[in-house]
Amino acid sequence: MQGILQGADAVRTLVLDARTLYENQEFHFTGDYGDNGFIEEYTCQIKGEPTSVVVTVTRNAAGQAEHLVVNHRPRSSVLHFARVMGEKYLGTPLAKYFITSASRTDVPTLASTYAAN
């Protein structure tokens, strides 16, 4: 994801849509950290690509999620996820956060980088 998504409805939409892509999700750790944090670590496949995920959540004084960070690894899975979500959100306000067919024309590929050198 490129940028910061704000607003409970937008974040909820993104999280729920992303979860539909996670195949064979296997949790390795979930639990509290610090005074107002929560963390989970899991592996999954996104359209066949093996992916490791770490999610950190910061809660407000009322115990509600206030800040969420989701990290995917390896880099190839990050890019794959960004493309899949970009196509899913094409034509919507959420598309700007991901790689879409329109944005790919501005992103050099590995092959074009070598050809230019």
Residue 97: inside a domain, yes or no? yes
Structural domain containing residue 108: 8-116
Burial class (CB in 10 A: 0-12, 13-18, 19+), 33: exposed
Query: Does residue 1 belong to any structural domain of this protein?
Result: no
Euclidean distance between CA atoms 13 and 39, whole angstroms: 20
Query: Do the beta carbons of residue 41 and residue 57 sit within 8 Å?
Result: no
CA distance 14 to 34: 26
Give the tens place of pLDDT for each residue, 17-71: 999 999 999 999 999 999 999 999 999 999 999 999 999 999 999 999 999 999 9
Domain holding 109: CATH number? 3.10.450.50
Report the predicted TM-score, pTM, of the whole model to 2 decimal places.
0.79
**Which amino acid, 55?**
V
Number of domains into which the chain is organized: 1
**Domain membership flag for residue 70:** yes
Look-up: residue for tokens 């956060």? Answer: 97
38, part of any domain: yes
